[in-house]
Chains A and B, each alone.
Chain A
Amino acid sequence: MNISEMKSKHKLLKDYSYELGEIEKGYTNRTLYVNLSNNEIKEKPVTQLMKDKFVGGKGFGLKLLWDATKPDTKWDDLENEIIISPGPIGGITQYAGAGKSLVVSLSPLTDIVIDSNVGGYFGPFLKYAGFDALEIQGKAEKDVIVIIDGKEGVIRIEEAPEEAVDSHILAEQLTDMYAESDNKKNLISVVSAGVAAENSNIGVLNFSFYDKKRKKVRLKQAGRGGIGTVLRNKKIKAIVAIAESIKPDANHVVDIEAIKECGARFNKEMRELDDDQCRMRKEGTAHLVEIMDDYDLLPTENFRFGSHKDIMNIHSSVWRSKFTQGVFDGCWIGCTMACAKAVDGFELKTGPYKGDKVIVDGPEYETVGGVGSNCGIFDADYIIEANFYCDTYGIDTISFGTLTAFLMECYEAGIINKEITGGLELTFGNADAAIELMHQMARGEGFGVIAGLGIRKMKAYFAKEIGADINFLNDIGMENKGLEYSQYVSKESLAQQGGYAMTNKGPQHDEAWLIFMDMVNKQIPTFEDKAEALHYFPMFRTWFGLMGLCKLPWNDVEPANNAETDEPGKVPEHVQNYVTIFNAVTGLNIDKAEMIRQSERVYNFQRTFNIRRGYGLRKHDAQPYRAAGPVTVEEYESRIERYDKQLLENIKVNPEGKSTVEKVAILREYKEDMYEQLLDAVYKRRGWTKNGVPKITHLKDIGMDLPEVLEIVESLQ
């Protein structure tokens, strides 16, 4: 069926015309609300309180979701929403990494709020269309698309029965359908998921942008926490944003010259220093693969080990040779970091698109670690294939990788077998079984359906249905709060254990990555030092999510004189760039201390949101023991010298004469106690009670003592 025939099958359910308006100082001052149950569409004002307390992006998402849901709303209830917001800086084109959207929803994996950041052009186009956030509530009866036409000033909800569901096809169909001409395809952005998002809890959202050089639609992912699953549960096939044009000063900022000056300095760093530093323009985040292996941090075989003899098969040089070089790979205009690398013309070997030659966005480091090394698979072509199918099926490469690694360990430990898996031999390294598991997930068949539940629910299922030892499953199942771990081994960094398990949404490294600072540099030896780092960095990194900014340009290139500054780990010049840009966009006058305060307000609000839903307490920050130390004898013995030394020096226990089982137990008691002490120190630094509840005095200090927040925390002081 061709595009016009497909379009002719659309049934208009609702259209809504509005005044396009102008963006002023980074804000449009209104949000867009769409309810798919009754097809209500309305504009809502952005209040001064929203700007003062929540700033934008993730902050707006949290505020709108709090107001829209009840404490017991479930992810698949009508009340749950998907909120997309770009933030006040989002959409500028004079500084790298300013096209991010922040997506917020209640997660099917965690039952708490999830937030996920993503590139692609949708967020900026939403703002250009006149909205600081899009809020979608309710469910459609049949598959719909929501069209935000920022050219005409019209919002439409249309039934769309004929288009594909898988993202690589759907995004192209809708780009072709809504672009005025080939040369204006870059003015369309599509949000979609895929068929596996319908049949699993690990669905992603794909945000598209049109790559004019390649003449291809590209996809970036809001990966974590199953928001794609929410999208398909609402029967949304896609959300389409149409822009009239991309104007250099669409945000109508206060001082564009100040932003340009920061941008010019940054761009010079990229030109002159990137090749000697992170090689982001040539390798993207995949430059980290062998570095993580060298430092024993690359998760291998379900986080049991941190390196592997076959690392050369997935070395960054392999990715460099697979990625098309010499083309601009920014996922938003003006991003000179340009790390959205892609493999062109990849011929698929399996699945419904077998034989097709496709473009594959990535793989990024997390995907290589997740579907590759963590599953014991050191095959670059498999990783590319798995990356492609995860994206088009609409599932998260990180969760898929970590849960498959968990299943492989269960299989090798005899907890599950071929009878239970329906014939899949899920041993470490079996790429054929792993990709078939994914295809089953997409088809909603067989063991793929069980896998798609995610680790937390699988643990309960295996314990109940096959009598598996829940304690062992809890030790090796790498999830916290219901979200699968991202791909770093945290065993030897207590601070990173906190950086993962003390997060608001679950163990994603975007709050804090402290392994080098802690384990290698030994810069934060005391609990107080670690607590300070676990205060500053999560707050600082939260700020990017309020703004519509990508974090990578902050520290994936460093100014030439960064080493000479007082706090090089914070990259002071780049921090100042961000302060300057925020002030230049909004006309406000914050400093770097107020930057942290802005984040603290939102961070504490999110913690309180979790508490409101029955989570967010100390017990919910518990980590699986695999994140802290060796669960099995084999793991201990793989690093026996290190662990024996820890027994002798840290615990004052002589390992000689003790069995490995005894040593595992002694080390465990010590490491678990260390983590409890870390919790105490971090909670104190964050202004929380020993149970992890924000103190009222602290909320007042940071200006987040809103009545609805105090109402939740006051009985828990």
Chain B
Amino acid sequence: MKTITVNDIIIDWEENMNINVILQRMNYTFRMLIIKVDGKLVKKNEYESTIVSPGADVKVIHLMSGG
């Protein structure tokens, strides 16, 4: 089984796995995110087009919010 790592959690990889798919899989619904794939920043308008490879290390950094 091919996998990727998202915030140190190992999950199954799938064909055409883009950032939006990852966010949905992880149930990451917060909107203020900084995403890096293997250390490279992915901008919001690139979420759909950024396809991750097996073994990728994805960091989804949630910023802070609230009072």
Contact = CB atoms under 8 A, between A and B. Distances in A.
Interface of A: 276-278, 285, 288, 290-291, 294-295, 364-366, 509-510, 513-514, 516-517, 520-523, 551-552, 555-556, 558, 562-564, 568-569, 571
Given A521-B7, A522-B8, A568 B29 contact: no
B29 A294 contact: yes
B62 A520 contact: yes
B7 A509 contact: no
B64 A513 contact: yes
Looking at A276, A520, A552, A569, the one whose CB has the most chain B CB atoms below 10 A away is: A520
A523 B61 contact: yes
B7 A520 contact: yes
B66 A568 contact: no
B66 A563 contact: no
Contacts of B34: 562-563, 568
Q: Is the interface of B mostly helix, strand, loop or mixed?
A: loop
B61 A278 contact: no
B67 A551 contact: yes
A510 B63 CA distance: 15
A291 B60 contact: no
A556 B62 contact: no
A365 B41 contact: no
B10 interface: no
Contact of A558 (B60, B63, B66, B67): B63
B9 to A, nearest CB: 8
Interface string B17-45: 00000000001111110100000010110
On chain B, which size bracket covers the interface?
20 to 34
9 contacts: A277-B31, A290-B29, A364-B67, A520-B7, A520-B62, A521-B7, A521-B60, A558-B32, A563-B34
A314 to B, nearest CB: 15
Contacts of A290: 29
Contacts of A568: 34, 61, 63
A423 to B, nearest CB: 36
Nearest to A523: B61
Contacts of B29: 290-291, 294
A285 B66 contact: yes
Looking at B7, B29, B43, B61, the one whose CB has the most chain A CB atoms below 10 A away is: B61
A8 B29 CA distance: 58
A516 B64 contact: yes
B34 to A, nearest CB: 4
Contact of B62 (A278, A516, A551): A516
B64 A278 contact: no
Contacts of A513: 64, 66
Closest A-B pairs by Cβ, 8 of them? A516-B62, A563-B34, A294-B29, A522-B8, A521-B61, A555-B64, A520-B62, A291-B30
A555 B63 contact: yes
A291 B64 CA distance: 12
Contact of B59 (A278, A521, A558): A521
A405 to B, nearest CB: 20
A243 B66 CA distance: 31
A90 to B, nearest CB: 18
Given A278-B31, A558-B32, A564-B41, A365 B66 contact: yes
Contacts of A277: 31-32
A533 to B, nearest CB: 11
A516 B63 contact: yes
A613 B35 CA distance: 47
Contacts of B7: 520-522
Contacts of B30: 291, 294-295, 516
Given A291-B30, A294-B29, A522-B8, A285 B62 contact: no
Given A291-B30, A294-B27, 20 more contacts: A285-B66, A288-B66, A290-B29, A291-B29, A294-B29, A294-B30, A295-B27, A364-B67, A509-B66, A521-B7, A521-B59, A521-B60, A522-B7, A555-B65, A562-B63, A563-B43, A568-B61, A569-B61, A569-B63, A571-B63
Nearest to B35: A563
A416 B43 CA distance: 54
B63 A552 contact: no
A556 B61 contact: no
A615 B39 CA distance: 46
B47 to A, nearest CB: 12
A364 B63 CA distance: 20
